[in-house]
Amino acid sequence: MSTGTVGSASSSGGGTDAWRVEVDAAPSRLVVAGVVGKAREHVHAAVQVLACGSGRVLLSDGRDELPVRAAVIPAGHRHRVRPGPGPAPIGVMVYLDADTTAGRALHDAAARGGVACWAAAASVFAEADPPPVAVSAAGVLRALDRLGAAAPGQPRHPALAAALAALPGAVADGPVRVGEVAARAGVSASRLGHLFAEQLGWSFPAAVRWARLHAAIVSVRGGANATEAAHAAGFSDSAHLTRVCKAMFGITPSQALAAAHWTPAAGPGTRRGR
């Protein structure tokens, strides 16, 4: 099945602003593979690994912009992506929960600096598949598995681990209040907020928004349209989903639905909306 397109026909780079991707969602990660398009400035509560098999993207941290083939974008850091000069960038993006072993190691390496540091932290993914074979999702995931196995284990605070485990089930029920989650985890609300900032690099509200967005993506995987997915994930309405999607991905849900095709491994549904 061919993928959809989104965006304008051309960009200031050498490629196109359009995204044409396949998507796979699993617990703790989201995998997007295909033609990388343009995304407005955004910030997500996950570590992003970007690896292009052909072409390059222009990646900006708000101060500097560099053409890169691969990068690790730490959680909680604003950035912008657009196609670079030359052929359209084709590659893989993995959004990895920052509380995973590999996610922690990558975040710590990339969060020390800006876009140049992000590119340096991704050298292993630039070589995930030997040239001239295009970078594959499987190759990047294998590299992540190796990284996770080799990274030193640094257990999270038990209260933080309990809060993170509770979020996926809590978001569908509506408002998620930090005080209630903190009480179940056995700490104060202020202590839990401090743990999120100290050990993950992002806030509790950002974690809730990311959990809702992941739940909405899983609903779309099963065949839901944007409105149905918004309600299933506990967003107040589709406009709320749109705001969070733009803030965390740099594109709207309608753009994402138009661009995405679900891989067979992702689940039974392959519809992109109704």
pLDDT at 97: 87
pLDDT at 196: 92
pLDDT at 134: 53
Q: 20-150 has which CATH code? A: 2.60.120.10
Name the residue among 181, 174, 176, 206 with its Cα closest to residue 78. 206
239: left (phi over 0), alpha (psi -120 to 50) or beta: alpha
Give domain 158-266's CATH number out of 1.10.10.60, 1.10.1740.10, 3.30.420.40, 3.40.630.30: 1.10.10.60
pLDDT at 79: 97
CATH 2.60.120.10 maps onto the chain at 20-150
Give residue 215's Cα distance to chain centre. Answer: 13
Tell me the C-alpha distance between 88 and 54, whole Å: 7
DSSP string spanning 158-220?
A: HHHHHHHHHHHHHGGGS---HHHHHHHHTS-HHHHHHHIIIIISS-HHHHHHHHHHHHHHHHH
CATH 1.10.10.60 maps onto the chain at 158-266
Q: Phi, psi at residue 173, to the nearest 5°?
A: -90, 0
CA distances from 177 to 204, 227, 270 (A): 9, 23, 34
To 10 degrees, the CA torsion angle through 79, 119, 16, 93?
-80
End-to-end CA distance of the chain: 18
- To which H or E segment does residue 253 belong? helix 253-259
Q: Mean pLDDT of residues grouped by 10 in the chain (274 residues)?
A: 36 62 87 93 94 93 95 95 93 89 90 95 70 67 86 82 91 90 95 92 91 92 90 93 95 87 47 38
